[in-house]
A and B are shown apart, each in its own frame.
Chain A
Amino acid sequence: MTGVEHYLSIFTKAVFIENIVLAYFLGLCSFLAISKKIDASVGIGLAVIVVLTITAPINWFLWEFLLDKGALVWISQDFKDTDLGFLKLIVFISVIAAMVQLVEMFMERFSQSLYNSLGIFLPLIAVNCSILGGSLFMVEREYTISETVVYGFGSGVGFFLAIVALASIRYRIRYSNIPPRLRGVGMAMLLTGLLSMAFMAFSGIDL
């Protein structure tokens, strides 16, 4: 498999087959809390796409040129045994927190309308596990830089798709007669289970 086809398969995998919410359980906190409203879900979905697509490549560069074993050889050969891998969690989470802040300031300056629609959701994203999870998976699977960009974007799209789907289903069942103690989170979990079952059908696709 070469070229475009390879990247398409990474993208499809990230969106459907290994959906970051429905298969890896990442980002569930905001997924459950925000999916009560459809427009809010669209907002946070877009914000996740933007932040994931930006942070995953940045963390890739940091991992490749700073943290990985032997990554510092571009400074001097003396560092070829240095392994700063244990710092990855702290570095990644700081990059994510800083990037979220930057994206927020950038949007405020250049795209007022987008800022108004995403505004309150951006800060929440810093503690969304799907962002940190994206960076950690990128390291674990040893992606190259272009694969990382495609993977980050694909995971964001996967999150967007899942949260908008769940929000629409929750909207449809507003007036259903659900047992009182099951209402809210309990029902949302069962619905997510069904949604995840539906997405499992994609795993039949051979890539």
Chain B
Amino acid sequence: MELFNSESKKIVSDPINVNNPISLQVLGICSALAVTIRLDQAIIMTLAVVFVLCSSNVILSLIRNYIPTRVRIVIMLSVIASLVSVVDELLKAYLYDMSKQLSVFVGLIITNCIIMGRAEAFALKHGPSKAFLDGLGNSMGYGLIIIIVSFFRELFGAGTITLPDGGAGYVLWRIPESWYAAGYENIGLLVLSPGAFIILGLVIWIQREFAGVEEDA
């Protein structure tokens, strides 16, 4: 199979745009919000999800013909849990500060519905290369949303933009003191949990306007 024909491109680009896992399929919101206080946390979390989702999709797709249907959930959970443990240990070893900040939310990638959902809906029905592309597309779609949400939360809530580095994060830009002197104020609410819900609600609204999707009720 060619890797770059239009069908593969569609598998990758659809979940980023018109079939986004968070805003349209409504999967994986749990962890999407908790890690959006700062941009660097969101970026690291995205990388973790890209790794777990792509590998779990490929592994499950490779063994899909040997999995008995009745016990597939247990098998999926154990594959995903092993991969997440690998990520957790890697973060602890190389990015200790970050793993402390993300605390339990790395472990909670296991119960992230995107991963189970894509395994069930796609990986168990398609070959490994397509499953890999689907994993890539969906995790990037997830990453896009949490990076947008965390960008706004950090910029307007704390007045900084932080990129990940080995330690506590590299501050790329900070709102200058002169702005504060001129009367600008950070919106403290955005750093707290209600801010995350409201910003994600607005992002979902905007994305659905572009994708042209409506839901009844």
Contact = CB atoms under 8 A, between A and B. Distances in A.
15 contacts: A24-B193, A25-B31, A25-B33, A26-B30, A26-B34, A29-B26, A32-B29, A97-B73, A136-B104, A182-B205, A183-B215, A183-B216, A184-B217, A189-B201, A193-B198
A86 B194 contact: no
Which 9 A/B pairs are nearest by Cβ-Cβ distance?
A189-B201, A184-B215, A193-B197, A193-B198, A136-B104, A25-B33, A190-B201, A197-B194, A181-B208
Among the interface residues A94, A136, A181, A182, which one has the most CB atoms of the partner chain B within 10 A?
A: A181
Dominant secondary structure of chain A at its interface with chain B:
helix
Contacts of A129: 30-31, 108, 111-112
B74 A97 contact: yes
A23 interface: yes
Contacts of B189: 197
B107 A132 contact: yes
Contacts of B209: 181
**How many interface residues does chain B have, given as a range?**
35 or more
Contacts of A179: 205
**How many interface residues does chain A have, given as a range?**
35 or more
Contacts of B107: 88-89, 132, 136
Interface in B192-217: 192-198, 200-202, 204-205, 208-209, 213-217
B108 A132 contact: yes
A193 B199 CA distance: 9
B217 A183 contact: yes
Given A88-B107, A93-B110, A129-B30, 16 more contacts: A25-B31, A25-B33, A25-B34, A29-B26, A89-B85, A93-B77, A127-B116, A129-B108, A129-B111, A136-B104, A181-B208, A182-B208, A183-B214, A185-B26, A185-B215, A193-B194
B103 interface: yes
Given A90-B81, A136-B104, A181-B208, A187 B201 contact: yes
